Structure 1
Amino acid sequence: YDACNELEQDPEIEIINQFSEFSNHLGHYAVTGPALGRVFEHATAGRSDARLVAFVSASGSAGTLGAGDYLKDTYGSRIVAVEALECPTMLENGFGDHNIQGIGDKHVPLIHNVMNTDDVVAVSDRSTDALDAVFNTDAGKAHLVDRVGLEPSLVDMLVHMGYSAIANALAAITIAKDRGLGRDDVIVTVATDGSELYDSEREEYLAHHHANGYDAVAAASDFARELESGDTAQHLELTEQERRRVFNLGYFTWVEQQGTSFEDFTARSDQSFWDGMRHFVGEWDEQIREFNARTGTRDDD
């Protein structure tokens, strides 16, 4: 942040900060949220008892969590924020290092609607590292097909799940177990990255933890530990007091360090602040249409 603030002193430079630009939140509220809603309705067509229970997403910039606000407004679902167990910022005001790349740590983004968030789940990078190995090695894939009984075509699709996607899936499983959900209870999450981003990380993990090779025994052990017997100890259901605690954590980053006014910071604790921004989406769409028409960039007709 400090380096960006220094660069922004140059009038030729415009800094777009994904952690504090509310357009990030609004874009996911207006686009990602409705898209996920359509997926839910398509997947549950004809199932009158199906209900959308929760939306699960790692925090990161907190933009994607904006989709959860839409789903909560529309379906009454819970919003579950995910973070790394090795850096449990929301869970217990913690700090530390982790290897779940892309999910953020050590601060609460300005655009996170904390007071509308219902749960926090912390996932260990030990789990994401191990399952990445299961999903992307010959021994792991063979275990999933031969022992677990998954279709090879489904196993091939797991390449589209990187560290943060695996973390989201594990957090969704935690919520399902902890809340005793059944077949008509639906959780929506997102695969936000693919495993090809982490080929070098996987090589390092395997060299360090499986120097003699990753075999069927290792794959079976990792699968059983991380998926079959995962615990729910790192799940916190947020009370009003817990929400306030997490909200207040952002003060040190945004007010004391980044110069956000106290009034602007605290205004975010009221849902009217977030509701009051929604009209900008239509205005931006109109500006885009006007720009396209004026420049000939795109013919919307």
Structure 2
Amino acid sequence: MQKLIWGPTFNEMLNPETIKPDIREKALKALDEDPLDPINLFNINFTDHKGNLSYFLVPKEVTGVKANIICLLGMNFPTGSHKVGATYSVTMEKQLSGEIVPGEHTIVYPSTGNYGIGGSWTGPRMGYDTKVILPELMSQERFDKIEYYGASYIKTPGCESSVKEIYDKCWELKRASKTNYILNQFESFGNYLFHYYVTGNTISKISEELKNKGVGNGRAAAVVSSMGSSGTIASGDRVKQLFPEVKIVGLEPIQCPTLYNNGYGDHDIQGIGDKHVTWIHNVMNMDAMMCIDDMDCKKALQVFTDKVGKDYLLEEIGLSSDVVEKLSRIFGISGICNVLGAIKTAKYYELTEKDNIFTMATDNFDRYYSVMDQITETFGPLTTTEAAVRFNSILKGVKLDYIEEGTMLNKKRWHNLKYYTWVEQQGKTVEELNAQKSQDYWIEKQQQINKIDASLKDARGF
């Protein structure tokens, strides 16, 4: 049997300064010198690896609202997306329980994007033969990254929202061999726990840091997250425990409004809107659902990343060159969706300059060049006039449409939608589905973190 490879505890991912100094030093050195070295598991955290929390305060010249919109940054994680934290947490938990063993199991990460890329990095680093299932219409950069990190991929029919086809392939692989082990982000609570504990408590840290800088009131008024696996939005469960007034706001594409009105359809906000309610989504704790147009997200991303758009932001909006350069790097399509949702949240709840809205720049621009090429091919090269139209209509002109509050009736409807995927198709029981209505179910899951951390320390010997 191969030697087991371990990474950080949940607490070390939240507080990387608590990692053993020699390990921390080796990990930071490997960031640039050897990004495929397993020691980089200890670089899974929300820092820029110089000791600074990794976030971006979106300029109000861009948002047009009084509230502070803060994006946690995924770009500084080992794969350029915070989803690698979820893949590590899921893999670590299953290895800790003895359910998977390197050399004996092939691990399979079903995904529509960044979780699969994260798995393609994590699995080989921990010694596993690794496969990623990904819809065929995802950006070419995603498939390239999966191969670069040492995994293979299986393409399934469809686009971002074609998750049923992914599940069908999972069942096929499970029937084909007992050594194929599915690490499903949509149901594995390692994903939930990473975001509840690491992302949620990081939001609290950033709130305090901003207050010390004279920004906001040291609290969180809203956590806004588009939903793919519904991992990131789990951070809201922790933030609501710390700041009970916080609003947890979920986002979906207008083109696939599953929770919003039981809708379906194809869309291209890669990483979200997967046409079902995930098992790990605590919908009974969510305060609102809002929908965002996928084409708005792609067109706005082009304004941030195309030279003509960057020049417009610099010369007409008056942003500094440093800010314009940052805007051009930190966002992917879902990150733009999150910013638009945060602006909508600020307007709807009439939030003020004291209020902090937290959201996520899930990955970064390095996996969307091909998508921007498609936008140019469809609409022609970006002009200064078109950049101005998009900036004012998409960003400054966010409308208060497609908003649904989390009334008890709506929460029960969101919850009930789980039945069709998880009980009818995926073998969950009605009894556990009913148990999820109570916050006690979720609190019991949250309380596993200290036990997992203790067991991991024992297993790795430090």
Band the TM-score falls in, shorter-chain normalisation: over 0.9
CA distance in 2, matches of 1:195, 1:174: 23
What's the CA shift for 1:105? Answer: 2.1
Q: TM-score normalized by structure 1?
A: 0.94
Q: Quick one: which of 397, 411, 421 aligns to 1:253?
A: 421
Name the residue aligned to 1:41: 208
Structure 1 residue 47 displacement after superposition: 6.3
Indicate yes or no: 2:247 matched with 1:70: no
SS of match in other structure, 1:171 = helix
- 1:95 corresponds, among 248, 260, 264, to 264
Name the CA distance, whole Å, in 1 between partners of 2:348 and 2:318.
25
Change (3 A) 1:227 1:48: closer
Report if aligned partners of 1:40, 1:188 keep a CA contact under 8 Å in 2.
Answer: no
Which structure 2 residues correspond to residues 71-150 of structure 1 after superposition, within 5 A? Answer: 71-76=239-244, 77-150=246-319
Deviations 1:81-105 (A, max 9, x none): 1111111111111011111000132
1:272 to 440, 446, 453: 440
Q: What letter is aligned with 2:264?
A: F
Alignment check: 8 A CA contact 1:37 1:71 kept = yes
Distance 1:47 1:108 in 2: 35
- Whether 1:215 aligns to 2:383 is yes
CA contact (8 A) 1:58 1:81 kept: yes
Runs (5+) with no aligned partner, structure 2: 1-166
- 2:460 & 2:435 partners in 1: Cα distance? 35
Identity across the alignment (%): 37
Question: What residue number does 2:186 align with?
Answer: 19
Shift of 1:277: 1.4
Q: TM-score, length-normalised on structure 2?
A: 0.62
Q: Quote the offset at 1:11 in angstroms.
A: 2.0
Which residue, 160, 169, 172 being the options, matches 2:330?
A: 160
CA–CA separation in structure 1 for the residues paired with 2:290 and 2:325: 28
- Contact 2:208/2:219 (<8 A) preserved: no
Q: 1:6: how far off?
A: 2.7
Write the distance in 1 (CA, Å) between the matches of 2:368 and 2:172.
32
- Determine if contact 2:216/2:356 at 8 Å carries over to the other structure: no
Q: What one-letter code is carried by the residue in structure 2 that aligns with 1:195?
A: F
Q: How does 1:210-249 map to 2 (within 5 A)?
A: 210=380, 213-249=381-417
1:114 deviates by 0.3
- Partner of residue 85, structure 2: none
Read off the aligned partner of 1:182 and give its amino acid letter.
Answer: T
**1:274 positional shift:** 0.3
Deviation at 1:51, TM superposition (A): 3.6
Residue 187 of structure 1, CA deviation: 0.5
Q: For residues 88 and 103 of structure 1, what CA distance do their matches in structure 2 show?
A: 11
| 1:231 alignment partner AA | K
Q: Which residue identity does 1:42 align to in structure 2?
A: E
- Residue pair 2:223, 2:247 contacting (<8 A) in 1 also: yes
Give the equivalent residue in structure 2 for 1:288. 456
Letter in 2 for 1:106: K
User: Residue 296 of structure 1 aligns with which residue?
Assistant: none
Q: Distance in 2 between matches of 1:47 and 1:189?
A: 16
Measured in 1, the distance between the counterparts of 2:171 and 2:335 equals 31
Alpha-carbon distance in structure 1 between the residues aligned to 2:255 and 2:276: 14
Deviation at 1:78, TM superposition (A): 1.3
Q: Secondary structure at the match of 1:257?
A: coil
CA contact (8 A) 2:207 2:216 kept: no
Where does residue 191 of structure 1 map in the other structure? 361
Q: What displacement does 1:276 show? A: 1.0
Q: CA contact under 8 A between 2:210 and 2:218: conserved in structure 1? A: no
Q: Give yes or no for contact 2:332–2:361 (8 Å, CA) kept in 1.
A: yes
What displacement does 1:191 show?
Answer: 0.5
Q: Which amino acid aligns with 2:277?
A: V
CA RMSD, 1 decimal: 1.3
Deviation at 1:7, TM superposition (A): 1.7
Separation in structure 2 between the aligned mates of residue 291 and residue 50 of structure 1, nearest angstrom: 38
Which has the larger helix fraction?
A: 1
Q: State the aligned residue count.
A: 292
Q: Specify the alignment match of 2:345 in structure 1.
A: 175
* 1:245 Cα offset (Å): 0.8
Could you tell me how far apart the structure 2 residues matched to 1:3 and 1:99 are?
21
User: Structure 1 stretches of 5 or more lacking a match?
Assistant: 294-299
Contact 1:131 1:226 in 2 (8 A): yes
Detail structure 1 runs of 4+ shifted over 6 Å in the superposition: none
1:48 deviates by 7.9
Q: Aligned equivalents of 1:48 and 1:170: distance in 2? A: 20
